[in-house]
Amino acid sequence: MRGAISWLGLLGLFGLVSVAPAMAAQTAEKGQTKPSLVGEFNDWAAYSYSTPTGPVCYIVSQPKKSEPEGTKRDPVFFLVTHRPGDNVRNEVNTIIGYAFKKESTATLTIDGDDFNLFTKGDGAWSDSKDSTIVSAMKKGKKMEVKGTSWRGTSTVDSYSLSGVKQAMDKIDQHCK
């Protein structure tokens, strides 16, 4: 399933060290391991964990700035994921911290180049331009994600791309 980051993977994003007993039991049954940090590169971190279908690796960052300021949201993340056991590489995804407006799109802008992302729930993904987006991220300086919440609030999250190339190189090596 596209964009399937397990709850265990999300726990790794939050940097949580312990897992509730029920979550730990559920995870063990699924044959997944706890995400491990494999490197930090300026504004990006690289993680990996194991699943029954093989390793999963992802890079993740949080926005440097979110507008409008003071908008109540859950934590916001941008990720690029490799799941070689599922033939997935460079899957681009954002977790926006609120439910998107139904049937809306989000706009990803990298140094002035726009990409449309389809939305579902609190996530957004690229239809087919993942590798193009990752290439632009590696060459870029800044990135923005614009979206609209189910309540109609428009948001803009600004990310630094400092370290993204090194983080991608790390997961490329780690998740072949």
For the entire predicted model, the pTM comes to: 0.82
d(CA 99, CA 133): 23
CA distances to 20, 53, 79, 176 from 17, in Å = 10, 24, 20, 26
Q: How confident is the model at residue 73 (pLDDT cuts 50, 70, 90)?
A: very high
Q: What's the CATH class of domain 7-174?
A: mainly beta
Within 8 A by CB and 6+ apart from 169, the residues are none
pLDDT at 71: 87
pLDDT-wise least confident of 19-33, 39-53, 93-107, 147-161: 19-33
- pLDDT mean over 30-48: 91
Q: Per-residue pLDDT tens for 120-130?
A: 999 999 988 99
Main-chain dihedrals φ then ψ at residue 111, nearest 5 degrees: 45, 45
Q: How confident is the model at residue 3 (pLDDT cuts 50, 70, 90)?
A: very low
CA distances to 8, 31, 101 from 53, in Å = 15, 9, 33
pLDDT at 128: 85
Q: Per-residue pLDDT tens for 154-169?
A: 999 999 999 999 999 9
Q: How confident is the model at residue 20 (pLDDT cuts 50, 70, 90)?
A: very low
Domain boundaries, the chain: 7-174
Instruction: Kindly write down the DSSP assignment for every residue of 32-44, as one continuous string.
Output: ----EEEEEETTE
pLDDT at 30: 64
Assess whether pLDDT exceeds 50 at residue 16. Answer: no
Assess whether pLDDT exceeds 70 at residue 101. Answer: yes
